[in-house]
Chains A and B, each alone.
Chain A
Amino acid sequence: MNWLQNLPDYLVLGLTRGSMYALVALGYTLVYGVLQLINFAHSEVFMAGAFGSYLVVSQLAPGEHGFLGASMIVLAGLLTGAIVSALIAWTLELVAYKPLRQRGAPKLAFLISAIGMSFFLVQLFGKLFNRFSGNPFPENYLDKNAPVLELGGVTVTRIQVIIIVAALLTMILLDRIVNGTKLGRSIRAVAEDAPTAALMGINIDRTISRTFLIGGALAGVAGFLFGQAFGFGNTMGFDQGVKAFAAAVLGGIGNLRGAMMGGLLLGIVEAIVPPLPFIGIEWTDVVAFVVLVAILVFRPTGLLGEKLGRAA
């Protein structure tokens, strides 16, 4: 059977997509942890990262580059994506959420504010840059589809290696921050019990700001990776955002390990199920959400439950 033969390829594809879902899902889950709020504008934070990294990569890419040069360009793309998205997320919190928080606004007001910011950012980037999706990143410097690894019929391309390795390293870094630093400890404490965290000397507002910075940076890394792999545009956030949010819920919103697992699982399901006989690629999104609903029916709090636990 064809499907079985291709399964290893589908798995690699799924892992690639899933790593990007996971990076974005972590941002939803981090913010949910400290604020019990779904930051619906997070998808646009992701989009902004793609734009930011494009501006830098498109400057650096022309000309001849060796392996080292190309690696440096990728690194620059990752970093600018992370920085731009982190700053957008931080600003978002400052203008759209913090004023509401200080006035004790109801949860619904945050939701409206988030949706408003999401529209605003989509339109802003559309106006400032362009209105089309699928704009390509420079590719010549990278030769992204060149095979890196061929193992028993599976071909792993350069861009796939970059995505998986970058996502993995980013998540390891996140784990070090959350479990190994005082900042991480304060994020966990605020997520568990904010008023008591304040009694320990933790500045809640500052911790929330920094949580947005971290979540934003993760989304920015994904923004660059996604843009480099599939192209970018001002509306690119919606689809990825909804899927990543689903992944966060799948894993258990508020749970970091859950977001990683949920992202990878969603990516893999999306890659291996639709090509099955009698299903078809056009059913990809349906398959993804059928799985989400099925899991939530049996585990309403997601795979790992609704808690900001330790990262993997």
Chain B
Amino acid sequence: MSLLEVDDIEVRYGAIRALKGVSFHVEEGEVVALLGANGAGKTTTQKTVSGMMRPSLGEIRFDGERIDGVPAHTLIHKGICHVPEGRRVFPRMSVLENLEMGAFRFKTHDEAVLDRVFELFPRLKERVKQLGGTLSGGEQQMLAIGRALMGKPRLLLLDEPSMGLAPLVVQQIFEIIREINDDGVTVLVVEQNATQALGLADRGYVLETGEVVLSGTGAELLADDRIRAAYLGEEIAH
């Protein structure tokens, strides 16, 4: 049984069908990448998995249990933690308060997890009192990931963690995602940065206008001409 099974889901924004029957699965311990151009439906897919949206058709199962239509605030108790697009740190809460928010589902936060977050992101420890809204883009991304870790995820959803960050910072963030996965957390990462994501991922799926058009292991996809052309900006030699 897969940890996450997404089975032929359709998701709509009113009359617009953003997902037209998407299926994929994530095994326990894996890093899976969802790739695709702007507007392909990557964010919508993650929002549906984390309970922010409900599919009009299809099923989602987590640990064998139906979770489609379960609202986000309930779903987090199953250990699905979502780092949303654009980070969405609480701008007028301090770094520490933001991290505590991540552990809101527990009575109190786990000090060992907090220590681990500070170990992964020493920058956050230096800035515990600073307001979330005053951090740099990279620091906000670290805070958003740290906040999700405070919820002790079994499945971590990351929506474009590299967006708008300098290459060096992107490198750093992906190394940390690797470490988080090594800690035993299953990761579903959405990316436009296909090289980085596929370098990290065990497997990947490519979305195009609401449908899965390609899937394979990270290495297979990296070698695929269509991927190279579409996402790595390479010319295909004929």
Contact (Cβ within 8 A) A200 B102? yes
Q: Is B128 an interface residue (CB 8 A)?
A: no
B72→A198 contact, CB < 8 A: yes
With beta carbons under 8 angstroms apart, the residue of A192, A198, A203, A204 that contacts B90 is A192
**In the bound complex, do residue A307 and residue B92 qualify as a contact, i.e. CB atoms below 8 Å apart?**
yes
Would A192 and B93 be within 8 Å (CB), given that A182-B104, A185-B104, A199-B82 are in contact?
yes
Question: Once the chains bind, are B101 and A185 in contact (CB under 8 Å)?
Answer: yes
B104 adjacent to A186 (CB under 8 Å) = yes
**Which of A182, A196, A200, A204 has the most CB atoms of chain B within a 10 A radius of its CB?**
A200
How close is B126's CB to chain A, nearest CB, in angstroms?
23
Q: Is the Cβ of A189 less than 8 Å from the Cβ of B101? A: yes
Q: Are A203 and B52 in contact (CB under 8 A)?
A: no
Asked if A66 is at the interface of the complex by the 8 Å CB criterion, the answer is no
Question: Closest approach, in angstroms, between the C-beta of B54 and any C-beta of chain A?
Answer: 13
Given contacts A185-B104, A199-B76, A201-B76, contact A193 B151 (CB under 8 A): no
The contact size tier of chain B is 20 to 34
A189-B52 contact, Cβ under 8 Å, with A201-B76, A201-B77: no
Known: A188-B93, A195-B52. A200 touches B88 (CB 8 A): no
**A274 interface hit (Cβ, 8 Å):** no
B25 close to chain A: CB less than 8 A: no
Cβ contact within 8 Å between A201 and B105: yes
Q: How far is the CA of A182 from the CA of B73 in the complex (A)?
A: 15
Q: Mark A178-189, 1 if CB is under 8 A from B, else 0.
A: 000010011011
**Which partner residue on chain B sits nearest A204 by CB separation?**
B73
Inside 8 A of A196's CB, which chain B residues have their CB? 84, 88, 90
Whether A199 lies near B50 (C-beta < 8 A) is yes
Whether A57 is near chain B, meaning CB under 8 Å from some CB there, is no
B178 to chain A, nearest CB (A): 23
Find out whether the CB atom of B52 lies under 8 angstroms from the CB atom of A199: yes
| B164 contact set on A, CB distance < 8 A | none
Most buried by B among A188, A192, A195: A192
Cβ of B104: which chain A residues have Cβ within 8 Å of it?
182, 185-186, 189, 200-202
**Is B184 an interface residue, CB under 8 A from the partner?**
no
Interface residue range, chain A: 20 to 34
Q: Is the CB of A198 within 8 A of B73?
A: yes
Chain A residues lying within 8 Å of B151, measured Cβ to Cβ, are: 200-201
Instruction: Give the complex CA separation of A308 and B92 in angstroms.
Output: 9
| Docked pose: A92 CA to B151 CA in angstroms | 34
Q: Interface digits, B56-85 against A, CB 8 Å rule (1 contact, 0 not)? A: 000000000000000111001100011010
Known: A199-B82, A201-B77. A192 touches B92 (CB 8 A): yes
Residues of B contacting A307 with CB < 8 Å?
A: 92
* Docked pose: A307 CA to B91 CA in angstroms: 11
Residues of chain B with a CB closer than 8 A to A126's CB:
none
Do A199 and B84 have beta carbons less than 8 Å apart?
Answer: yes
Name the distance in Å between B114's Cβ and chain A's nearest Cβ: 15
Determine the distance from Cα of A92 to Cα of B91 in the docked complex, in whole angstroms.
30
Determine if A309 is an interface residue (Cβ-Cβ < 8 Å).
yes
Bound-state Cα–Cα, A110 to B166, Å: 44
- Bound Cα distance A197, B91 (Å): 12
The reply to whether B101 and A203 form a contact with Cβ atoms under 8 Å apart is no
State in angstroms the CA–CA spacing of A147 and B105 once bound together: 52
A200-B76, A202-B73, A203-B73 in contact; A192/B105 too (CB < 8 A)?
A: no
Task: With A193-B90, A307-B92 as known contacts, state yes or no: A200 contacts B105, CB within 8 Å.
Answer: yes
A171 CB, nearest partner CB in chain B, Å: 20
A residues in contact with B93, CB < 8 Å: 188-189, 192
Residue from A182, A186, A193, A203 in contact with B88 in the complex, judged by beta carbons closer than 8 Å? A193
Bound together, the chains give a CA A222 to CA B50 distance in angstroms of 43
Contact between chains at B73 and A201 (CB < 8 Å): yes
List chain B residues, Cβ under 8 A from A182. 104
Interface residues of B in 29-73 (CB under 8 A from A): 50, 52, 71-73
Q: Which residue of chain B has its CB nearest to the CB of A203?
A: B73
Within 8 A of B (CB), among A179-230: 182, 185-186, 188-189, 192-193, 195-204
Q: List 10 A-B contacts (CB under 8 A).
A: A185-B101, A186-B104, A196-B90, A198-B71, A199-B50, A199-B73, A199-B81, A199-B82, A204-B73, A307-B92
Known: A192-B91, A199-B76. 17 other contacts (CB 8 A): A192-B93, A193-B88, A195-B84, A195-B88, A197-B101, A198-B72, A198-B73, A199-B50, A199-B72, A199-B73, A199-B81, A199-B82, A200-B101, A201-B73, A201-B104, A202-B104, A308-B92
Residues of A within 8 A of B (CB): 182, 185-186, 188-189, 192-193, 195-204, 307-309
